[in-house]
Amino acid sequence: VSIVIPPRVTAISPPQIDVINARAAEWRARGADVISLGQALPGFAPPSSVFAAAQAALLRPDTHIYSADAGVIELRQALCRRLAEDFTVTADPETEVIITAGANQAFMLALMTVLEPGDEVLLPAPYFMNHEMAVRAIGAVPIEVPLDKAAGFSLRWIDLEARLTPRTRAVVICSPSNPTGAVFGATALQEIARELLARNIVILSDETYMHFVYGDCQHFSLASVPNWRESVILLGSFSKSFGMTGWRVGYLIASSRTIHEALKIQDAMLICAPVIAQEAVLAAVEQAWHYPQQYLEAFNTRRCYLRDRLDTIPTLHWQPTQGGFFAFVEVAGCADAQQLSLAILDRVHVVTIPGNLFGVNGQGFLRLSYGSVDLSRLEMACDRLLRYFSEWYQVNPK
Ligand SMILES: Cc1ncc(COP(=O)(O)O)c(C=O)c1O
């Protein structure tokens, strides 16, 4: 007798990034100098206030026990102050915020709170693969909404409208986008919010990359639209902004009615986010909220460098986007991005992420993350990609 796992779970594809990382680790163990343009890491360390606060927190007895399910109140207060100042998001720290173990847990919490099995969830594609996995995991149905590459993968109401059915209950919006880096403008988002509110469809707004926008581009939070409480659930993260992916702290913001219900699930799922980590993040939010800005210039330099170099590789095409730290690059003639990604890793030791992992219309693309390589490593990676595409790809296209 063995444990029966339902199709709801077995149908989820295992995380392919782990397969690629394992292969990269094998190459490293054999002495290869592998350059990773793979995982979505910002590459910088947390601000120093985080270390001091975490050390001080270790010596306090109240950090060794659970916090409130909704999280440390001082962190909720500081976060709400910052979001109000920078993004005109007004949320009540007492009743409209839950501190979570990262944006991913916030997303799962939101799904479990508002959806029933069989509900349809629109996923503008290319999408963040964990969103699709989570939707499947709770028995809801992910519906891909292919975004137009010619329009820079921007999100338009007409694209969503075309996929609505009577079973549509929620739409996932991720701006700035992982994997494309597209930033959706305020006008489009306001229209979408209006239309979805009129249809009683929930918006799950993942704003993990809110601090990573370039040039005169501005992040627009969906939790700043009028009546946001009636349809928007904001999912946020401290992982990328403060270089704290391993600390596992994020947040969920919604109406007090939704939060009241979500707290039951949070209590059953997690009780509360790790308290030492919450205290450390509190210091970052209070003392170093604008910390990521000091890295933006370097990120933008890498972004422009990547654009210039990719322009010289005829097989590759990237229409630069304004946010995140990703280039979603089209590869001419590529029918199997997964094979291609592995071939690039094997031949020239550069880690890339196959675009098809982000949905059907990502097939033939590679996602390159420039978050955790400095300019000299990025230059080496580009040299190697140039070599791969001039020496291998034409000879043996995959
Ligand atoms: C769009 C998006 N949402 C959520 C996450 C996960 O963030 P967290 O570490 O806060 O769970 C990521 C990480 O790559 C992401 O790209």
Residue with tokens 């409130």: 68
Q: Kindly tell me if the per-residue pLDDT of 255 is higher than 90.
A: yes
Query: Region 130-141: what's the mean pLDDT?
Result: 98
pLDDT above 80 (res 26): yes
pLDDT at 396 over 60: no
Pocket of ligand 1 (CB under 6 A): 40, 102-104, 128, 174, 178, 206, 208, 237, 239, 245, 250
**Amino acid letter, residue 277:** A
Q: Looking at residue 392, what is its pLDDT?
A: 86
pLDDT at 340: 96
Average pLDDT over residues 70-79: 98
pLDDT at 200: 97
Flag whether the pTM goes above 0.95. yes
- pLDDT for res 361: 94
Nearest CA to ligand 1 atom 1: 178
Please check the confidence at residue 166 and state whether its pLDDT lies above 90: yes
Q: What is the pLDDT of residues 213-235, one digit of tens each?
A: 999 999 999 999 999 999 999 99
Residue 395 in this model has a pLDDT that exceeds 60 = no
> For the segment 337-394, what is each residue's pLDDT rounded down to a tens digit?
999 999 999 999 999 999 999 999 999 999 999 999 999 999 999 999 999 999 988 6
Determine what percent of the chain is predicted with pLDDT higher than 70: 99
Cα 211 to middle of ligand 1, angstroms: 13
Q: State the average pLDDT for the chain.
A: 96
- Indicate which atom in ligand 1 lies nearest the CA of residue 104: 11
192 alpha carbon – ligand 1 mean position (Å): 23
User: What length does the chain have?
Assistant: 398
What is the average per-residue pLDDT within 149-167?
96
Place of tokens 């739409």: 171
- Each residue's pLDDT tens digit, 77-108: 999 999 999 999 999 999 999 999 999 999 99
**Mean pLDDT on 318-330:** 97
- Choice from 178, 235, 242 to test ligand 1 binding pocket (greatest atom count within 8 A of CB): 178
Mutation probe of ligand 1 site: the residue of 98, 108, 132, 208 with most atoms within 8 A of C-beta: 208
| pLDDT for 1 beyond 90 | no
Average pLDDT over residues 268-278: 98
* Residue of the CA atom closest to atom 16 of ligand 1: 178
Closest Cα partner for 13 from 134, 140, 121, 127? 134
What's the CA-to-centroid distance between 178 and ligand 1, angstroms? 9
Give 313 Cα–ligand 1 centroid separation in angstroms.
Answer: 30
